[in-house]
Amino acid sequence: MLLPQLCPAPTGEGRYKVLLKGISPLLNAEVLQALRAMGHGDEVIVSDTNFPSESVARRTVLGRLLRIDNVTAAEAVAAILSVMPLDSFIDDAAARMEIVDVPDEIPPVQREVQQAIDVAEGEAWPMVSVERYAFYERAKKAYCVIQTGERRFYGCFAFTKGVLPPDGV
């Protein structure tokens, strides 16, 4: 939804150049603080506008809701994963809320997010699917919830933070 020049897609050599040098402008001060404060195994939930974001967020470690407003889920995920490494120690570091009664269907909103993940990681990194109520329970144990402007159904995702070695990726 943002103009391309305001929110360039991350590329291998690309760097964001606005607001803070090298950091996506979608990452506001509170979101940056949270992503930096998270450690290995901590989880961030990216939610759509129908998810009970506020009530779930209050049960998370952070205890208050974060926002990346007015953008799609994929745009928010691209920004988050431009700085946050995924956890390669587990097989469900990236997860999507599955459609009720149609667990294998992947709607466009989730396909877009899958693409953002693959670009950020530089390889295919398929999301696992999580049943709706199981997703709610998982979300309550997360470090934080970031609500996006995504209005399409099932625009809800979970990402587990990984590690980066001292000498670089």
Least Cβ distance, residue 141 to a copy of itself (angstroms): 20
Contacts of a copy of itself in 65-94 (CB under 8 A):
82-85
Report the residue number, 101 or 169, with the smaller CB distance to a copy of itself: 169
12 binds a copy of itself (CB under 8 A): no
23 binds a copy of itself (CB under 8 A): yes
Helix (H) or strand (E) run with residue 129 in it: strand 128-130
d(CA 64, CA 114): 27
At position 135, the amino acid (one-letter code) is: F
**Using CB under 8 A as the criterion, what x/- string covers residues 127-166 for binding a copy of itself?**
-------------------------------------xxx
d(CA 152, CA 131): 17
Can you tell me which of 6, 90, 100, 128 binds a copy of itself, judged by CB under 8 A? 6
168 binds a copy of itself (CB under 8 A): yes
At position 168, the amino acid (one-letter code) is: G
Q: Identify which range of 16-24, 68-76, 87-95, 104-112 contacts a copy of itself by CB under 8 A.
A: 16-24
**Residue in the block written with tokens 């431009």:** 82
Nearest to 164 by CA among 94, 93, 84: 84
Where does the chain have alpha helices with state H?
29-37, 53-57, 73-81, 108-121, 132-140
61 binds a copy of itself (CB under 8 A): no
Tell me which residues are annotated as active site: 40, 87, 136
